[in-house]
Structure 1
């Protein structure tokens, strides 16, 4: 069954890369084959926390999509778009840097998917105002969200898995990963100047027209705005207090969505109409396919091979783990990869005492940053591409990946001297 599972996944991946078949059809078709051929079953696909659909991700997305749908009706995204454009005086590169820094900062406190759901509407509006192509800005924000999410325990789901397995605290992540994330963001902002240089076309007339706008006039329903922002603040507080309250982000998001629909006049059907249902279905199919690889032992074999290749040398193990995690997380979702790799890293780390903690930081950085490499490497990537397609600005697999590979290569390479100089 191992060869069949690999064949199904590779076949689906080829179809995703060529973009000749809708990605949701590909993911659901691949999942159906995994179930039909008995590589996985309903019990593992729908109810297993390790090899099944990551329902926490699905319902987190659903809840936040509903909240964003209601919030959009207040005009607040238009307000933020005009405010941001005016602060950067309509200049394309400063605008991108500002949006990326805001995105990375938000992703350190929230999960990166939630951040993209909040930032994407603003991006399309500000680009429309300034006559800019939104695709490079949205891609840059996705890269920034994955980089920023590596800084804290709650920023990226793999970090939560690592923290639980290694008994690490919020402050452990803050002290060990935040310094390198700041360096990576500085390098990334410089990299954007080169990667997207052809898109930075300044239109002085559009910039001048934006400067004359009054952003306060964009707010169309102040009562709805107050209610929506109050609920959103409670939801964000619930995310931040996850280590204390122990409520999953998905539960917090669903509670927030339900409360917001309850206290406003927005029709449920109207709010649900803007939910990215194809994206949610794509995630479901992708999780089942990756779960099939885990069930067939493919991911475990690769992880064990990485561990065996290091032969007990901590420095080599750290670098192999960093690079290997980046490569594998670009191909399969980093959540099941980290869940599979964590027990192996735990054994390796235990054999080196306190010094072995560096392996956890290598795993976190590799998995989080490797997600930038391809269009399906991280949940935020998939969500962003779904939103872009809905807004009429589709981003192709290779269009995203050609930039993502550069960002991943540069950021992972910068982690090498950081890990070596700080821990060896």
Structure 2
């Protein structure tokens, strides 16, 4: 009975989010409220459990980076980067898009994808304002690039960290096994974008000429604050990359960095808190509670077992099934709890296989499916929700279905490319 109620609440909330009848934050918090009032998940499980509760690491990582970005915005560095990118692209919106997509993909491999989009989105809004073109296509494309690029390394996407811990895989393992397909996927995305967003790259030639005449160095308003912010960002990035060495969670690194920058910058609370996307943080909190109810009642575990049992002991069938199921599931629910639930089952399948090369294919299919599936819908990955929140506040709302129509195509293409890669590398050429 509890499982049926949890499913019903999630489906209704998801429908409200998808149809945008009410703000997505309201839908998520209302769904979470029903779950808590009925008692499917209690307060202790909702607020303190790592398995069924709010993922505070995600919430505080977002909060810390939003504060840092808010202070960094005051330096003028985003305007500098926007002008620089537009000039390098000769004022062509399509070339600007491709340049920003490449920057986003590379950055997402070495930072978490949420941090990357928090840094790139303000630049995008500014360069589109300079070019007098809508930023919607740019922002959506950058989310796609972020979710794909983050797949390449152990630290690029949170599910990869879970997989590495369960499977005993190293940073080099991810780089050598996943980076090649990610490069191919980014190239495919670059070829797909002009068709996917056709009609979105028009601009006034006079505006392009004006940009070419600008001096980007004049955009820097506070060089001292820029130096302080750069030093803190460098320290934060070092903490992200070396979190396994320093034994500090990315959320702790982000919060400490935010606190340090607030301290040394002398910024007033009204200034650095103005950049915090409170609606996005509350939406995540509600979504985590609803997903926690699905985990608590065994719904996700049951679905994962069904997927595992359907393989029949065939490694190739298991690899392809895990890839497809992971992509579909991660487009609907957060890929972090999905991978956390699925990884023990994959570990069991791997242990039963005589060929460990085939066993590794199962792990990589789980990672590729979960990471690429994040592009399927507007709530498939944290980066998606963050960018939609930024776009809304900037006056350029992106609807659930506008994102999902494009995202479903990108997910289909990336999964179709990943399937032969897994087959060739781990079953034909192994």
In 2, Cα distance between the equivalents of 1:25 and 1:194? Answer: 35
Deviation of residue 242 (structure 1)?
1.5
Deviation of residue 202 (structure 1)?
3.6
Q: Deviations over 1:43-81 (max 9, x none)?
A: 211111111111100000000000000000000000000
In 1, Cα distance between the equivalents of 2:256 and 2:11? Answer: 38
Where 2:21 maps in the other structure, the secondary structure is: coil
Q: Which residue of 1 aligns with 2:362?
A: 359
Q: Which residue of 2 aligns with 1:17?
A: 18
Q: Which residue of 1 aligns with 2:126?
A: 125
Matches within 5 A, 1:18-417: 18-353=19-354, 354-355=356-357, 356-417=359-420
Where 1:150 maps in the other structure, the secondary structure is: helix
Deviation of residue 200 (structure 1)?
1.3
Q: Deviations over 1:348-407 (max 9, x none)?
A: 011114221111100000000001010000000000000000001000000100000000
TM-score, normalised via structure 2 length: 0.98
In 2, Cα distance between the equivalents of 1:132 and 1:292? Answer: 42
Aligned residues: 424
In 2, Cα distance between the equivalents of 1:265 and 1:243? Answer: 32
In 1, Cα distance between the equivalents of 2:407 and 2:247? Answer: 34
Q: Deviations over 1:333-359 (max 9, x none)?
A: 000000110110110011114221111
In 2, Cα distance between the equivalents of 1:376 and 1:13? Answer: 9
In 2, Cα distance between the equivalents of 1:366 and 1:315? Answer: 15
Compare 31-40 and 388-397 and name the one that shifted more: 31-40
In 2, Cα distance between the equivalents of 1:125 and 1:296? Answer: 46
In 1, Cα distance between the equivalents of 2:209 and 2:230? Answer: 30
Q: Which residue of 1 aligns with 2:5?
A: 4
In 2, Cα distance between the equivalents of 1:32 and 1:17? Answer: 19
In 2, Cα distance between the equivalents of 1:84 and 1:153? Answer: 29
Where 2:50 maps in the other structure, the secondary structure is: coil
In 1, Cα distance between the equivalents of 2:43 and 2:253? Answer: 27
TM-score, normalised via structure 1 length: 0.99
In 1, Cα distance between the equivalents of 2:247 and 2:189? Answer: 33
Q: Deviations over 1:147-179 (max 9, x none)?
A: 000000000000001111111100000010000
Deviation of residue 251 (structure 1)?
0.4
Unaligned 5+ segments in structure 1 are none
In 2, Cα distance between the equivalents of 1:87 and 1:264? Answer: 32
CA contact (8 A) 2:69 2:275 kept: no
Q: Deviations over 1:188-233 (max 9, x none)?
A: 0000011012101142211110000000000011001100111011
In 1, Cα distance between the equivalents of 2:248 and 2:169? Answer: 18
Deviation of residue 268 (structure 1)?
2.3
In 2, Cα distance between the equivalents of 1:251 and 1:380? Answer: 19
Deviation of residue 92 (structure 1)?
1.4
In 2, Cα distance between the equivalents of 1:338 and 1:204? Answer: 48
Q: Deviations over 1:293-343 (max 9, x none)?
A: 011111011100000000110000000000000000000000000011011
In 1, Cα distance between the equivalents of 2:4 and 2:264? Answer: 53
Deviation of residue 260 (structure 1)?
0.3
Structure 1 consecutive aligned stretches of length 4 or more whose deviation exceeds 4 Å: none
In 1, Cα distance between the equivalents of 2:51 and 2:58? Answer: 13
Where 1:273 maps in the other structure, the secondary structure is: coil
In 1, Cα distance between the equivalents of 2:144 and 2:371? Answer: 10
In 2, Cα distance between the equivalents of 1:248 and 1:269? Answer: 27
